[in-house]
Structure 1
Amino acid sequence: MLLLRPPGVYPPQGDTELLAACVRREPLDGSSRVLDLCTGTGAVALAAARSGARVTAVDLSARAVAAAWCNSRLHHRRIRLHRGDLLAPLSGGRFDLVTANPPYLPTDPGKGSPGRGAALAWDAGPDGRLVLDRICRTTPRVLAAGGVLLIVQSALADVPETLALLRAAGLRTSVAARQRQPFGPVLTARAALFERLGLIGPGEREEELAVVRGVREC
């Protein structure tokens, strides 16, 4: 799928496609309400919009929101776009599906706050959970009864913790998909850090991606 991506906007990669594939397996139709957090280019929002669902997408980056708007027009899909921090720009409402591809890469514990610019799309604090934890704690409340939350992340950022937090929020949880892929440039540059932190073995240069699925049953 052709997508416009200005500099500084997270490019669709293996995690994007894995999440989009899970979205395509959900039973969406014209009555479905979908929220896509950390939308980037809007690739996952577009995957949902193809079903006819009513899609809202949010990103902290003004460039990402502009890119998603252009891509929605390019593919003739209507997506309601907001710039802001996760749920902050929303004025209420419940959703049948919430998706998120947040920053999830661990950073050097001595580095301090996440980087600027494009790095905000992947830097997520020393344990990789700076945004993941917030999504797990806040998004369950915007799910409609029977609503589904799909989050893609790296195993480097503790998939069991995501499952535990969503269960604590009252969701029924599972891992909907897993995929191994070679390190890209950012992970390769941090391989020595990940080895030092015990997140990977010596010489290991693959990461496992997982899509965590949570269902609000009532």
Structure 2
Amino acid sequence: MEHMHFLNIYGFEITVFPKVYCPSDDSFMFCDVVMSLNKKYECGLDVGCGCGILSMLLTRVCKHVVAIDISGTATRNTWYNVKLNSTRHKVSVVRGNLTDPFKSSTFDFIVFNPPYLPIDKCDLYVDEEERIAWCGGVNGRLIIDRFLNTFSRVLRKNGELMFLQSSLSDLQKTLEKLHEMGFEASVIFEKSFFFEKLYLIRVVRRWN
């Protein structure tokens, strides 16, 4: 039988539904950085919201937050936690793929904790809805590359993006791609774990 998980993160009570990614080291690392921000934003976007913890933390720095996930279970889970923590006046939840549903230049702050782990043949036997929360394809870049090709359309002129990447999915390729697109990209935080290193990348437009 699958069970729910219950967490308290920065004062938010979080229930994690079965088949939804349970916050782990990568999530906590991202949460810590968001909570350290002293800048304020108009409209934030949490791509791949999962259980919604980043969406709710964004309410501390954004006037309004939009949470999106391709999984119906994840969007229901986020909405449950949004209501549980009395943040529904600041958070909208959308089911959709990456940034596809949104108009151009909508957000001035985007966060994304993508599925980045390379797939193994054994992983094909894992339930598909669970797998999409962490599986990044053969080389770990499937979702990252799709996102890099779409996010700039919805990012405002002076907006910024923060997203997480693993050492398992070619950090240098990501930084080079962003530079070619006209962005400044830098690693603002990194942490080593037993089989990988995680990097939090900050991205802003490069102005000449």
TM range (shorter): 0.7 to 0.9
Alpha-carbon separation, structure 2, partners of 1:55 and 1:175: 24
Alignment match of 2:77 (pick from 42, 62, 67)? 67
- 2:5 match: none
Q: Deviation at 1:108? A: 3.3
- 1:49 match: 59
Contact kept in structure 1, 2:123 and 2:131, CA below 8 Å: no
Alpha-carbon separation, structure 2, partners of 1:76 and 1:92: 29
Alpha-carbon separation, structure 2, partners of 1:155 and 1:95: 28
- 1:118 match: 130
- 1:210 match: 199
For 2:117, give the aligned amino acid.
L
Alpha-carbon separation, structure 2, partners of 1:76 and 1:52: 16
- 2:172 match: 160
Contact kept in structure 2, 1:140 and 1:149, CA below 8 Å: no
Alpha-carbon separation, structure 2, partners of 1:129 and 1:109: 17
Identity rate of aligned residues, in percent?
32
Are 1:176 and 2:165 matched, yes or no? no
Q: Deviation at 1:91? A: 3.8
Alpha-carbon separation, structure 1, partners of 2:63 and 2:28: 19
Q: Secondary structure in 2 aligned to 1:82?
A: strand
Give the number of aligned pairs.
194
Alignment match of 1:21 (pick from 3, 22, 32)? 32
**CA shift digits 1:8-60 (9 cap, x unpaired):** 0001111112222222344443x521011001011111111123521001001
Alpha-carbon separation, structure 2, partners of 1:170 and 1:110: 39
Alignment match of 2:47 (pick from 37, 58, 63)? 37
1:23–1:156 CA distance, 2 compared to 1 (3 A): same
**CA shift digits 1:124-172 (9 cap, x unpaired):** 1111000001111210222112211111121101111111111122111
Unaligned regions of 5+ residues in structure 2, if any?
A: 1-8
TM-score by length of 2: 0.85
Q: Secondary structure in 2 aligned to 1:58?
A: strand
Alpha-carbon separation, structure 1, partners of 2:129 and 2:155: 31
Are 1:11 and 2:22 matched, yes or no? yes
Contact kept in structure 2, 1:145 and 1:217, CA below 8 Å: no
- 1:96 match: 108
Are 1:146 and 2:158 matched, yes or no? yes
Alpha-carbon separation, structure 2, partners of 1:217 and 1:97: 16
**CA shift digits 1:97-133 (9 cap, x unpaired):** 1110111111137988x96120111111111000001
Alpha-carbon separation, structure 1, partners of 2:100 and 2:62: 25
Root-mean-square deviation over aligned CA pairs: 2.2
Are 1:130 and 2:142 matched, yes or no? yes
More strand, by proportion: 2
**CA shift digits 1:53-87 (9 cap, x unpaired):** 21001001111101111111111113111001111
